[in-house]
Amino acid sequence: MPLFDYFRAPGADAVRRAMDVTDECSPMGEVFDGVEAKGVDPAVVLGMLIAAVRQVPWRPDLVSEKLVWPPGGEPDPGHEGPWVTELNESARNVLAEAGDLPRVAREWARIEELGGRVGVAEAQAFIEAVGGLARRAREADEPLFCWMSL
């Protein structure tokens, strides 16, 4: 199962420096404040969480990403990871303002992509954690990033 870590950082340059220091391992925890999110990819699964918070249907543009590491990784089809992407500010802000967590957790825990592996309590704990991370990022005027590895 792919691994995903969401973290906040001052910017893409700080992330690139951290990736050099961590020898491509996730900089979450050791370098940056973050949340482990095994199986929660940004575009679909996190996007479905954002859709649930906003009470709108999922669309692929709810979470947009910009590759920040590895440098030049986009044109390299042979690169097998890890990667770090920067999430759009709108996604960060929606997560920071998430309300009615019991309803959101019930809805999100049922999505097909989670395959019944996540209970409502576990979903709510994740939403609280990623929402807290997003609030701290917004307060510090920092973007959210996602480190991912196959």
Q: Which domains does the chain have, with CATH numbers?
A: 3-149 (3.40.1760)
Helix (H, G, I), strand (E, B) or coil at 46: helix
The helix/strand/coil state of 72 is: coil
End-to-end CA separation in angstroms for the chain: 7
Give 58-111 pLDDT, tens digit per residue: 999 999 999 999 877 665 666 777 999 999 999 999 999 998 999 999 999 999
State the pLDDT at residue 101.
Answer: 92
SS3 content of the chain, % helix, strand, coil (to 5): 40, 20, 40
Name the nearest CA neighbour of 22 among 32, 34, 37. 32
Residue type, 53: V
Say which amino acid occupies 103.
R
